[in-house]
A and B are shown apart, each in its own frame.
Chain A
Amino acid sequence: MAFQILLNVFLALVWMFLKVSNEPIDFLVGYFFGLLLVFTFRRFFPSRFYLLRVVAVINLIAIFIKELLLSNIAVLKVIIKPKLDIQPGIFALPTELKKDWEITLLSNLITLTPGTLVVDISDDNQTLYIHAMDASDAEAAISSIKNTFEKAIMEVSR
């Protein structure tokens, strides 16, 4: 992944040296041709073609913005309701993510979407404890988190 990006930048620089220019446009042209070369020989590399991962990152950002809007509207509904009929509670979310940064990213995404908040992580990093504004349907919350954020993060780090 990182090696492919470095190779691509290196190819763009070589292109600039061949053209004997220091214009940004020549860097971009060289980057484009380097991208074509890296794509053609993508089976050389141990990890997959890196543009797929960039697309996965953009997809994750889009999912986050969508969830942020939806959950904000949900919290707004609870606030302006005359009757307070929520059941706050803490539930455990078993996670399949392994690396530190994946778990941190998942925790921060959960915390940033209103209504849910990561309170603690178990010592073996396998369970997140989440405080929910409405824990009456914890199963639904778990499955929704698993299907959106966790899946998108796995797409990035696969």
Chain B
Amino acid sequence: MRTNDLILQTVTKVILFIILLFSIHLFFAGHYYPGGGFIGGLMTAGALVLLLLAFDMKTVANILPVNYRIMTAIGLLFSIGTGAGSLLFNVPFLTHAFTDVYLPLLGKTSLHTAVLFDIGVYLVVIGVTMTIIQTIGEDE
């Protein structure tokens, strides 16, 4: 007995992009405002879970052919690499560097290596959440 999920699917196609944009905003807001890699990753994973609820697992795997275990590994490499990078400059492990750069169009932009660390956190959170949900969901 398949119910007709037309309304849910159509609304999902619109809402998904708004949730993802909001999660990106939360990720970049993390330095000066509430937000950051963890909550941004959870929000992105929430958007993907909404996709899983509206469509079936095969469809989502076709839309996003991502191996979430490898994604988790890449995220951990990002975080460890950011920490190990500071050893090259003869400063303690996980020392962050930051600078103000004048970029064309964007004007004065502060670049901080904590963003790279946060990208690692972001990827790990998405990877772990989606792995948990998919492993539970695949139990036929």
Contacts and interface: CB of A to CB of B under 8 A. Distances in A.
Interface of A: 100-101, 103-104, 107-108, 118, 120-123, 125
What's the dominant secondary structure at chain B's contact region? helix
Interface residues of B, number: 8
A100 B4 contact: no
A108 B7 contact: yes
Contacts of B6: 100, 103-104, 121, 125
Nearest to A101: B10
Interface string B1-45: 011101101110000000000000000000000000000000000
24 contacts: A100-B6, A100-B9, A100-B10, A101-B10, A103-B6, A103-B7, A103-B10, A104-B6, A104-B7, A104-B10, A104-B11, A107-B7, A108-B7, A118-B7, A120-B3, A120-B4, A121-B4, A121-B6, A121-B7, A122-B4, A123-B2, A123-B4, A125-B4, A125-B6
Interface in B120-136: none
A109 to B, nearest CB: 12
Contacts of B4: 120-123, 125
A120 B4 CA distance: 7
Contacts of B9: 100
Nearest to B3: A120
Contacts of A121: 4, 6-7
A104 to B, nearest CB: 4
A108 B7 CA distance: 8
